[in-house]
Structure 1
């Protein structure tokens, strides 16, 4: 984890759940020279400044990833970038598709070009399970963003900048997590709405997601799509972990929603290798000197990484033990 120590960093979408957790981790463990928080909501920036006590190592940039010039200004002198900014709500994307294209696609390309122009060393973009075999507009825009970041290494092959992607599913404890919603309903004595009792999801905590990104900075050469090897859980078990004995009712799968999460599609199995704690989806074409990481093993042909076919599972007790702080 020496890569980030003493570094100058920037986080787009830095006032979101991941951004704030990443900032806290970096301030506590890596003694950054400075950390630029880049986001477009001045209220959230004000609230975050109170959270971090106006730490002098932080720089607060109001800006939108749609604005390449503003990104370029913010990235001057920056060595490492985490691109966490995105529009994310599936149903909202279906009604406002071009807004998602402008932020998630054009905004991502702006991050790429600003990073190259400013000589940033390493950039990691946050992806989502919905970018694997996408069935909704949000997932499609994130798949395009993933492709842009991997291909950006071609543009920067004679530069210092390298790009990688980290993909994981729902984060327990993030803004919009279902846990507080279930807790509120249970406290009111109401039945918990379950999309489908067969539904499964991957399970990762916010702290684990931050650590995975930090570790990926150390490992990356550029062009990798990293996927953590994490357990699955059944949504019905989550409900029982949060509110034991509470009644449940099914409401049906919503438009654009999958019954099971997928983070690696079967069509990508030929370029996927397995490491002890992660999968690496390797670039199809690498002109910048990429070599496979040592110790990796090719996955079987046709392998897909889906929450219903996982080899690691959490039951209700296991879920409860990992979200203890959220239940208090």
Structure 2
């Protein structure tokens, strides 16, 4: 048991992670920029210490990490289109904010690990978001060389988490429940999807089993085409026959993603439709 910091603490996956850490007996420093959501988080999980702190702010981050034994770094500016439109913000959060965390792991000798979540978009880079995440991975490898004898630097890389904030599934669910137009890029495009339980499990597997900063990824990660995923969402949430507008892949988007250079969502094992229908 120890004191663990979680950045991006008010996000969907981070909240699930905090719940798991609390059951393990850890004290939590919840770090995020949204004070309202932080207050709600503290009301939900009594005893969580909250820090309204964007990771770009080095001094506030130093305060938030005081006394921490480890860091789970989930904060990110991750919308692909917004990152393309606002590269300065993507760099500030995903690279400079991460660099702040990494510097503090060198300065604070009590911090024994930092684990960050990355994305399949860092493998076949075609846009700003993927580029910033690839640089984040590279920074972890560099700091492992600098301070690896004192602190474990770990990266988890996976695809999309079902129901995560801002995901296409969340957008479609809202549109279907409110009888709004559905936006689909390319029905033949494929994406990796995992459940939040799988995402949390692989985070702890990485922390326990990984030996270096080389990205660690879930075994047997399954994919699905966006067209089939939309069909399943319509089956589950549609109140009437929806209007669908196909807009094509946008700048910064790949038709298929890769979790490694050798494992593409195009050829990966596909989700069983009925199994996925029960999860979405």
In 2: Cα distance, 1:126 partner to 1:261 partner? 16
In 1: Cα distance, 2:64 partner to 2:106 partner? 13
CA contact (8 A) 1:72 1:117 kept: no
CA contact (8 A) 1:192 1:239 kept: no
1:160-199 matches, within 5 Å, as 160-187=150-177, 192-199=182-189
User: 1:109: Cα distance to partner?
Assistant: 1.1
Specify every segment of 5 or more residues in structure 2 that has no aligned partner in the other structure, as ranges. none
In 2: Cα distance, 1:186 partner to 1:22 partner? 29
Residue 316 of structure 1 pairs with residue 273 of structure 2: yes
In 2: Cα distance, 1:110 partner to 1:190 partner? 41
In 1: Cα distance, 2:184 partner to 2:154 partner? 35
- Residue by residue, what CA displacement relative to the aligned partner does 1:27-58 show, whole Å, maximum 9, x if unpaired? 12x111x1100112212212222332xx12x1
Instruction: Name the residue aligned to 1:141.
Output: 132
Instruction: Name the residue aligned to 1:305.
Output: 263
Select between 94-103 and 178-187 the one with higher mean Cα deviation: 178-187
CA contact (8 A) 1:169 1:204 kept: yes
1:246-285 matches, within 5 Å, as 248-265=244-261
2:98 alignment partner, SS class:
helix
Instruction: Name the residue aligned to 2:230.
Output: 239
In 1: Cα distance, 2:96 partner to 2:177 partner? 43
Select between 111-120 and 172-181 the one with higher mean Cα deviation: 172-181
User: 1:209: Cα distance to partner?
Assistant: 0.7
CA contact (8 A) 1:15 1:48 kept: yes
CA contact (8 A) 1:240 1:316 kept: no
Residue 102 of structure 1 pairs with residue 92 of structure 2: yes
Q: Supply the RMSD in Å over aligned alpha carbons.
A: 1.9
Select between 60-69 and 200-209 the one with higher mean Cα deviation: 60-69
2:40 alignment partner, SS class:
helix
User: 1:189: Cα distance to partner?
Assistant: 5.5
CA contact (8 A) 1:165 1:223 kept: yes
User: 1:102: Cα distance to partner?
Assistant: 1.6
Aligned partner of 1:84 among 74, 81, 104: 74
Specify every segment of 5 or more residues in structure 1 that has no aligned partner in the other structure, as ranges. 1-5, 266-303, 324-328
Instruction: Name the residue aligned to 2:9.
Output: 14
Instruction: Name the residue aligned to 2:214.
Output: 224
Aligned partner of 2:112 among 100, 109, 121: 121
In 2: Cα distance, 1:84 partner to 1:226 partner? 15
User: 1:253: Cα distance to partner?
Assistant: 0.8
CA contact (8 A) 2:189 2:255 kept: yes
User: 1:308: Cα distance to partner?
Assistant: 0.3
Instruction: Name the residue aligned to 2:122.
Output: 131
Number of matched pairs: 273
Select between 37-46 and 187-196 the one with higher mean Cα deviation: 187-196
2:166 alignment partner, SS class:
coil
Structure 2 vs 1, CA of residues 189 and 81 (structure 1 numbering), >3 Å: closer, same or farther? closer
Structure 2 vs 1, CA of residues 19 and 187 (structure 1 numbering), >3 Å: closer, same or farther? closer
User: 1:155: Cα distance to partner?
Assistant: 0.8
